[in-house]
């Protein structure tokens, strides 16, 4: 089923006196910790009849299945128009600040065409990974591209049935993604330049429609992701 992109922003914060509770950023897939948990407090325990009030909407964002990232009052989302992927930045009034073409997206007819990546915002930089396996870094303020890497080509990766569906993980100075290449199931790129920092030697599994997460366990920092079981 195709999904047509339309961002809706609704009022669901608790009023306190004459002010409102400020909203925390949601800068990447599933929130600040990639665990679906929000640090917000003071939220409504129950929505009013008819649901929260719609503040604004923004249509014309193309097709896709990615969710939004929010940082410093700006909403970032990706959509596919005429087989091309676009990165949109939308301000707090619902006005598109910029629209950037980042190249071909997953457009297989009858094969869930559309975008798959949720943008990852890291300071003034933003990272996406297309359904075709292309990772790119942009200036989050003006949308200018800083670097990109075709990971399937560079790491001898192979796309999967429904297209790469992944949101980039930032860990310190590294951008982590899963191209599923030969001895490069997972790779770390320098987040500033796109140069390769390391690859997962000995692992050659394909990607598997998921995004890596970082877990700290004792003194260890672990990157967790999924890969298909080889039959």
HEC string of 25-93 equals CECCCCCCCCCCCCCCCCCCCCCCCCCCEEEEEECCCCEECCCCEEECCEEEEEEEECCEEEEEEECCC
For position 20, what pLDDT does the model report?
Answer: 37
Rg (CA), the chain: 18
Q: Indicate whether 1 pLDDT > 60.
A: no
**SS3 breakdown of the chain: % helix, strand, coil, rounded to 5?**
0, 40, 60
Residue 184 DSSP one-character state? B
Contact status, residue 42 vs residue 60, Cβ threshold 8 Å: no
d(Cα 77, Cα 146) in Å, to the nearest integer? 18
Q: Indicate whether 105 pLDDT > 70.
A: yes
Mean per-residue pLDDT for 155-166?
Answer: 95
Instruction: Place 109 in a pLDDT band, splitting at 50, 70 and 90.
Output: confident
Q: Indicate whether 9 pLDDT > 80.
A: no
- Measured CA to CA in angstroms, residue 143 lies from 89, 97, 124, 132, 163 at distances of 8, 9, 10, 20, 24
What is the model's pTM? 0.90
Q: Indicate whether 206 pLDDT > 80.
A: yes
Instruction: Place 76 in a pLDDT band, splitting at 50, 70 and 90.
Output: very high
d(Cα 212, Cα 28) in Å, to the nearest integer? 12
Q: Indicate whether 204 pLDDT > 70.
A: yes
For 121, the token pair is 């915002």
For position 15, what pLDDT does the model report?
Answer: 34
d(Cα 202, Cα 227) in Å, to the nearest integer? 14
Q: Indicate whether 5 pLDDT > 50.
A: yes
What separation, in Å, do the N-terminal and C-terminal C-alpha atoms of the chain show?
29
For position 8, what pLDDT does the model report?
Answer: 62
Q: 7-16+23-38+55-224: which CATH architecture?
A: Beta Barrel (2.40)
d(Cα 99, Cα 181) in Å, to the nearest integer? 31
d(Cα 89, Cα 175) in Å, to the nearest integer? 21
Mean per-residue pLDDT for 89-97?
Answer: 96
For 148, the token pair is 């990109």
């Amino acid at each position: 089923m195709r999904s047509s992109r339309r961002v809706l922003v609704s009022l669901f914060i608790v009023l306190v006196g004459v002010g409102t509770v400020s909203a925390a950023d949601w800068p990447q897939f599933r929130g600040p910790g990639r665990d679906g948990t929000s640090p917000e407090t003071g939220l409504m325990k129950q929505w009013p009849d008819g649901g929260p009030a719609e503040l604004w909407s923004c249509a014309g964002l193309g097709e896709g299945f990615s969710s939004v990232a929010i940082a410093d009052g700006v909403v970032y989302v990706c959509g596919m128009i005429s087989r091309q992927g676009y990165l949109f930045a939308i301000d707090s009034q619902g006005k598109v600040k910029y629209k950037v073409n980042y190249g071909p997206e997953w457009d297989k007819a009858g094969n869930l065409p559309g975008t798959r990546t949720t943008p990852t915002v890291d300071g003034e930089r933003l990272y996406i990974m297309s359904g075709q396996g292309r990772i790119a870094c942009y200036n989050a303020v003006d949308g200018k591209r800083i670097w990109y890497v075709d990971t399937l080509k560079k790491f001898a990766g192979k796309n999967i049935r429904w297209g790469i569906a992944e949101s980039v993980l930032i860990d310190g100075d590294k951008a982590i993604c899963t191209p599923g290449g030969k001895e490069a199931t997972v790779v770390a790129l320098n987040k500033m330049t796109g140069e390769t920092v390391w690859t997962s030697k000995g692992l050659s599994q394909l990607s598997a429609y998921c995004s890596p997460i970082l877990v700290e366990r004792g003194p260890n920092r672990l990157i967790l992701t999924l890969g298909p079981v080889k039959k």
